[in-house]
Amino acid sequence: MNCHQMGVTRMCTCTIPYFKEIIIMAFTCDNCLHRATEVKTGGGVSELGRRYTIKVNKPEDLNRDLFKSESSEIEIPEIGCTVVRGSLGGVFSTVEGLLEKVNLIYHRCLKLFRATILLLVIVLMSTINLTSKNLLTS
Ligand SMILES: [Zn+2]
C-alpha cells in the first residue's frame, strides 16, 4: 500500500453472540511491513438501532472487549466528547483501545485544525500586506 508493492489481504467472518456477524480484514505488506486492519458489520444494516452504555468504574472495565460498527456514534459525556458516525470506521478492540483511537484521531484533527488556522492567518496577512501596498502605491 505505502510502497506500491503487492500485499496480502486476509479476511474472516466471525459471529458475536447476541449481536451479529462481523468481517475482519487484515492487510500486510512483506516489503515495507505496512499493516492495516478493518472491521465491518456483515449481514446488512439492522432495521432498528440500539444504544449500549458502558460504565467504567474500575481499571478492569477498560479491558472489556467491544465492537463499534462503522455507522455508530460514541458519546463520552463526562469529557464532552462525541465521535460522530462515519468518522472512526469499524473498531474491534477493548474500551481502552477505543479510547486510544479516539485520542489519536482527536490529536490528528487538532494538528489539522492548527495547520488550517496557520494557513488562514498567512493568507490573511498576505492579503493585508497586498492591500497596504496597494494603498501606498495609489
Ligand atoms: Zn508495502
Contacting residues for 93 by C-beta, under 8 A, at least 6 apart: 65, 66, 101
Please list all protein residues whose beta carbon sits less than 5 angstroms from ligand 1, which is an ion: 2-3, 5, 29, 31-32, 34
Cα–Cα distance for residue pair 4/17, rounded to 1 Å? 39
Average pLDDT in the 6-23 region? 87
Tell me the whole-structure pTM to 2 decimals: 0.65
* 44 burial level (CB within 10 Å; 0-12, 13-18, 19+): exposed
Q: How many domains does the chain have?
A: 1
What's the pLDDT at 110?
86
Q: Is residue 3 part of a domain?
A: no
Residue 1, in any domain of the structure: no
CB 11 within 8 A of CB 24: yes
Assign 137 to helix, strand or coil.
helix
Averaged over 43-72, what is the pLDDT? 87
Other beta carbons within 10 angstroms of residue 58's beta carbon come to 7
Kindly report, residue by residue over 89-108, the tens digit of the pLDDT.
888 889 999 999 989 888 88
Query: Ligand 1 centroid to 25 CA: how many Å?
Result: 17
Distance 23 CA to ligand 1 centre (A): 23
Single out the residue of 30, 33, 21 nearest to residue 92, CA to CA: 21
Domain assignment of residue 103, yes or no: yes
Q: Which of 26, 53, 21 is nearest to 37 (CA)?
A: 26
The domain containing residue 105 runs over which residues? 8-137
Q: How far is the CA of 81 from the centre of ligand 1 (A)?
A: 35
